[in-house]
Structure 1
Amino acid sequence: MAFRDGPFENIKVPLAWTAAVVVVVALIASIVMIVGDRGTAAGRGETGPVRAGFVAVAGPVGGIFAAPVRWTGAVGDHIGGYFFAISENRRLKAENAELKQWRDQAIAMKTVNERYEALMGIRTDPPVPMAAGATVQDSRGPFARARLIDVGAGKGVRIGNPVMNEHGLVGRVVGTTAGISRVLLLTDVASRTPVLIERTDQRALLTGDASANPRLAYVRGTGLKAGDRVLTSGDGGGFPRGLPVGIVAKGVDGSWRVKLFSDRGAVDYVRVLLFQSFGQLADPNGLNAPPLAGLGSAPPPNANEAAAISDAMTRRTAADAAATAARDRRIAEANADRQTPLPAQTQTAPSPDSRPAPLPSATDQAPTPVPGARG
């Protein structure tokens, strides 16, 4: 029998009265819980029996009813995390691609900076002024090995200047304009570089033959070994002495060759040594300084003392010059006296009075007898 067919089918309960009854029941339950929650006489901190019973009954029931809510929240979090992970993955992929570009640029810049630092670390003894440049064109052929660099006469570059990278000697300048210079590499067939073997101090001539390893020619002396370091000798005044060139190796043809230090890296950044002659390595002022300048603990002379010293030196120089002139004049007069011929004598007949007296005869020259002497 259905509920509507029972005795209560005609009972109609107003909604307002139902709500009022529910509120009153809830209010009464709250009052009972508050009253029953007061502490007992034995201990103020203990829970009242009414609330304890309610909690004991409502705890499991609340856990059962809360489980679907928790499950629903977990499923929602899982679904939301899935869709968030997809969008986050896309964002991270785009960011990673951008960071890879920055990483490649950073690696390239690091490499360039390291090479710049190596180039700036090139030192010569004695110091030689330098100009840095980069390769703008590489000319290669069956015999030619040359490069164009973006530094020229405007920076003081001249024909014959040595060119180096961070590892060693590259070549020399053979042509220059205001902003561009042409560098003849050591491997060019026209390249000839005086070198020396560091271990034995042997002299040789490094000649290019368009191969990667130029040949050592005209080696003076014996005792050359593979692995010996090769440096510029400075012979001829075209290169400073001691620039690193390479190491000695034995070629497949049996000749001595040189593995260039400059081949250890790309020849795209170079430094040009503004070397003209060995005279530029010395300080003319230092060479022409007074011999006693700066010696001892006495301070340098002031302006008045310097003027007095200069006057004294001038007077001494004038006196020395006068003495030298007088001595030369006396020597010249003495030489002139020796070279003057004697005057010729007049040949005249002697007069009777001027004839010489006759020599005494033998009787006239007899000795006079001494008294008392024996005959």
Structure 2
Amino acid sequence: MAFRDGPFETIKVPLAWTAAVVVVVALVASVILLMSDRREVRNHDVYSPVRAGFDAGMGPVSGVLAAPVRWVGSLSDGVKGYFFAVSENRKLREQIAQLEPWRDQAIALKNVNARYEAMLGLRTEPAVAMVTGRSVSDSRGPFVHARLIDTGADKGVRIGNPVINEDGLVGRVIGASGGVSRMLLLTDVSSRTPVLIDRTDARAMLTGDGSGNPRLEFVRGVGSVQAGDRVLSSGDGGGFPRGIPIGVAAKGIDGTWRVKLFSDRGAIDYVRVMLFQDFGQLVSPEALTPPPLAGLAAAPPPSAAQAAAITDAAARRAAAASTAAATTTTPSRPAAQRPAAPRPAPAPAATPPQATPPSAATAPGQAE
């Protein structure tokens, strides 16, 4: 036997010896396997020294021999994981493609829900009934700024109702039909809104001119407006409730005061129509009449006897008053016509005074 085509081609090994070595190795391996697989131990308290030595020597050998097996297992797991990851990645891509429309719808619904919550969070004082609608059409031009809303007279919308969104005042209703109403924006040239400056309470008129920032006109007071002042609806004239936010004041390039509208912060698509006609509808007539104070009860009606006594007393007071008036107005006689007062008669000095009977008394007005 010779090793050809290698560095050991000159070495020659007898075939008989090679076979003998293989047989011996096989026998040793068989013995090792038999010893390692033996489980019957008659005396558990006595552990064979041969078995103990064999176990001690086979521990490291088994670890060395098991290492390639573990490596092969890990490699196979990696290969399987790789191919599984490829198929899993393909499935995940398909699922992502299917979920993308749902994601877009969820984002849109989230935005709409946030806007609804913001609009529902608006509160007016006193409370005003509102109707939510959506802007379905936009009419824009050099002078006309108006929109159509998909809510109308069938829900109580009337001409003149204010329209707001989650940021502030948008405009007012100028026309209403059964299911549609037309809204005039604050930027239209025909829009006039009475406003006030929140800081100074100064009154002004917000006038649209077709631009994105309407003008502040007829401002009352010198220095009553500064850049950044909040502008609110004043409620003057009864067309709008007081205190609706509109925007902030800013100086225009032409030197006039203008208002940066809060409603321009986002798209005007969802709005709320305030069913406001006048301030009289906000308070019931019964609430304007206060109830009687607690503890004070109305007096009961007088009886017949009390009524007669009251009437008699009133008649007596009237008679006494008329008599006093007649006495006061009777003319007095002149002094010459008055009778002289009687002079008393001198009593005699020696004669003691005696009681004069009433019949002998001198009558008044009689001469001596």
Short-chain TM bin? 0.5 to 0.7
CA shift in 2, pair 1:69/1:201, >3 Å: closer
Matched residue, 2:148: 148
User: Is the Cα–Cα contact under 8 Å of residues 153 and 178 in structure 1 kept in the other structure?
Assistant: yes
**How far does the alpha carbon of each residue in 1:260-316 deviate from its partner, in whole angstroms, 9 at most, with x for none?**
1111222111111111112112211222x4x5x252157xx9xxx9xx97xx59xxx
CA shift in 2, pair 1:241/1:74, >3 Å: closer
Shift of 1:64: 4.6
Matched residue, 2:201: 201
Q: Quick one: which amino acid aligns to residue 228 of structure 2?
A: G
Matched residue, 2:50: 50
Matched residue, 1:249: 250
Q: Quick one: which amino acid aligns to residue 126 of structure 2?
A: P
Q: Quick one: which amino acid aligns to residue 159 of structure 1?
A: I
Matched residue, 1:279: 280
**CA RMSD of the aligned region, Å?**
3.5
Shift of 1:187: 0.3
Q: Separation in 2 of the partners of 1:198 and 1:30?
A: 97
CA shift in 2, pair 1:38/1:145, >3 Å: same
Matched residue, 1:126: 126
Q: Quick one: which amino acid aligns to residue 282 of structure 1?
A: V
**How far does the alpha carbon of each residue in 1:144-185 deviate from its partner, in whole angstroms, 9 at most, with x for none?**
111111110011000111000111110000111111111000
Matched residue, 2:294: 296
CA shift in 2, pair 1:295/1:100, >3 Å: farther
Q: Separation in 1 of the partners of 2:115 and 2:262?
A: 15
Q: Which runs of 5 or more structure 2 residues have no equivalent in the other structure?
A: 2-14, 17-29, 303-368
Matched residue, 2:238: 237
Aligned residues: 281
Q: Separation in 2 of the partners of 1:200 and 1:65?
A: 93
Q: Separation in 2 of the partners of 1:247 and 1:121?
A: 21
**How far does the alpha carbon of each residue in 1:199-238 deviate from its partner, in whole angstroms, 9 at most, with x for none?**
2222221111110100111222211211122111222221
Shift of 1:37: 6.9
Matched residue, 1:269: 270
Shift of 1:193: 1.1
Q: Separation in 2 of the partners of 1:99 and 1:115?
A: 24
- What SS does structure 1 have at the residue aligned with 2:72? helix
User: Is the Cα–Cα contact under 8 Å of residues 131 and 272 in structure 1 kept in the other structure?
Assistant: yes
Within 5 Å, which residues of 2 pair with 1:1-375? 34-35=40-41, 38-40=44-46, 47-223=47-223, 224-287=225-288, 289=289, 293=291, 295-296=293-294
- What SS does structure 2 have at the residue aligned with 1:143? coil
User: Is the Cα–Cα contact under 8 Å of residues 35 and 51 in structure 2 kept in the other structure?
Assistant: no
TM-score in terms of structure 2 length: 0.67
Shift of 1:75: 2.2
Q: Separation in 2 of the partners of 1:36 and 1:187?
A: 107
- What SS does structure 1 have at the residue aligned with 2:119? helix
- What SS does structure 1 have at the residue aligned with 2:135? strand
User: Is the Cα–Cα contact under 8 Å of residues 153 and 176 in structure 2 kept in the other structure?
Assistant: yes
Q: Separation in 2 of the partners of 1:246 and 1:217?
A: 15
**How far does the alpha carbon of each residue in 1:39-81 deviate from its partner, in whole angstroms, 9 at most, with x for none?**
23xxxxxx42121122234444444543443333222112111
- What SS does structure 2 have at the residue aligned with 1:136? strand
Greater displacement, 93-102 / 148-157:
93-102
- What SS does structure 1 have at the residue aligned with 2:242? coil
CA shift in 2, pair 1:68/1:184, >3 Å: same
